[in-house]
Amino acid sequence: MRATRVNFTDVLARLQRVACVCRGAYALTTFGTAIALPVDDKAVPIRLEERLDLGQWLVACYQSFARRIGLAGLVGLLLCCCAFGEGRAPSPKYYDARERAAAALTFEWVATTVVSYSLEFIQLFNRSLLNQAAAIGAPLDMVRLIDEALANRPFELSAFYTIERTPQKMRVRLWEQAVNLQAPDANENFYSETYIQGATVAHVSFNSNNQPIAVHLAKAETDALGLGDFAGTLGAELMVFLAGISPFRLGGSTPEQWRLKAVSPEEWVFVLHPRENPNGTEPEMEIHLNRRYQDAPARLEIRYANGETRIWRTLKYKLINGVWFPSEVEYTASSQHQKSRVQYTLLRTTRTRSLRIEIPEGITAYDYRQLGDGAWRYQGDYEETTWKADLLGEKE
């Protein structure tokens, strides 16, 4: 077997924790809490808050080679260059055959969520409302507080994802229900679109009439394929299970930063330890890859120092164009204030015919591009402007 030198130094896509952008009065979304005062029906951004031994990895892959057919499942060995966009867009690399196959597909998913909020969260929220009212001299008896009887009550919500991918760009259309604890019986529905082209991410917010009202724009320093939506509706870990993105892009990482923790005839287990940072927000991540399904993601555990945990688990797989993809996925999250469980089911996949960026010119644009990767770390502020197609900075 001839040795091949693999250059990982130019691996793209840095990922940080997502924030949440929301419109309306104190809407509580499926995957977290977003608080925003209504401002003339505009979407106003709100800010929330060891290394892989490649020698071990290659040896382990080689040891299993005799038991495998072809190279399709050997994650990290199929590094294929492709054109991604035009103009100034950098060329990303596919980390495996799954990424390459997914880049030409459209995925349609349905999600069912059960979420509940703790009494402590409701009390903190109510105190915050009262403090805000007192600060502006508003009558406290006019403040709409959350009924504490809603603590730990399960709310069931639905969401639909259409993820359209081409080698040049990606569009995610998301329709989701949300909980408004101040009006728990109200029907809160939200629609958004996210475009990823080269290094640029454009998140489009819509009003209650499904009219686009604002664009939130950021540009990574390399390529944004594995970063997820910095506005918070499309986390990178979700893209791993629903859109075929490699897990080795998670956490702003590159493949050589992951440590091979364990290997068995059934799975590979890799771990990414948190990087040192002042506020301790970096999680520890552990990914399990199913060797029976071409190393498709089987389980992802994300654990934060504050006790928050997020676990993704593949329940079923589907063979699509000769490559195995997750087709039924369970997500559970637990923190001090919230518990949620989401079931994702793949409805269908088709080959993407064409994909155009459809954002009307003249709507409000919140431009974070000057921050580079800092937009994903919430460092700095945006510039408000109006949307024009050339803001993407790349040709379509």
Which residue do the tokens 């105190």 mark? Answer: 127
Is 294 part of a structural domain of the chain? no
Give pairs for 237-240: CB < 8 Å, separation 24+: 237/300, 237/302, 237/310, 237/312, 238/331, 240/297, 240/300, 240/312
Is 137 part of a structural domain of the chain? no
Is 270 part of a structural domain of the chain? no
Q: What is the pTM of this model?
A: 0.74
Q: Residue 13, exposed/middle/buried by CB under 10 A (0-12, 13-18, 19+)?
A: buried
Q: What is the DSSP string of 192-249?
A: EEEEEETTEEEEEEE-TTS-EEEEEEEE-SS--TTT--TTSSS-HHHHHHHS---GGG
Q: How far apart, in whole angstroms, are the C-alpha atoms of residue 200 and residue 233? A: 16
Q: How far apart, in whole angstroms, are the C-alpha atoms of residue 241 and residue 330? A: 10
Is 287 part of a structural domain of the chain? no
Give pairs for 3-8: CB < 8 Å, separation 24+: 6/54, 6/76, 6/77, 6/79, 8/54, 8/254, 8/255, 8/256
Is 45 part of a structural domain of the chain? yes
Domain span at residue 201 reads 20-115+156-250+317-392
Tokens matching residue 309: 């945990």
Q: Give the CA angle between residues 391, 197, 211 to the nearest 5°.
A: 65
Is 272 part of a structural domain of the chain? no
**Number of folded domains in the chain?**
1
Q: What is the 3-state secondary structure (H, E, C) of 102-171?
A: HCCEEEEEEEEEEEEECHHHHHHHHHHHHHHHHHCCCCHHHCCCCCHHHCCCCEEEEEEEEEEECCCEEE
Sign of the alpha-carbon torsion through 191, 197, 199, 200: negative
Per-residue pLDDT of the chain (396 residues; tens, 9 = 90+): 333 333 322 322 322 222 233 323 223 333 333 323 333 344 434 333 333 333 333 333 333 332 332 333 333 322 222 222 333 444 558 899 999 999 999 999 999 999 999 999 999 999 999 999 999 888 888 889 999 999 999 999 999 999 999 988 899 999 999 888 988 887 788 999 999 888 889 999 999 888 999 999 998 887 777 777 887 777 889 999 999 999 998 877 789 889 999 999 999 999 998 766 545 667 899 999 999 999 999 999 999 888 899 999 999 999 999 999 999 999 999 988 889 999 999 999 999 998 988 899 889 999 999 888 788 777 778 889 999 888 776 544
Is 309 part of a structural domain of the chain? no
Parallel, antiparallel, or unpaired: how do β-strands 259-263 and 212-219 relate? unpaired
Is 266 part of a structural domain of the chain? no
Tokens matching residue 63: 């040891």
**Which residue type is seen at 64?**
S
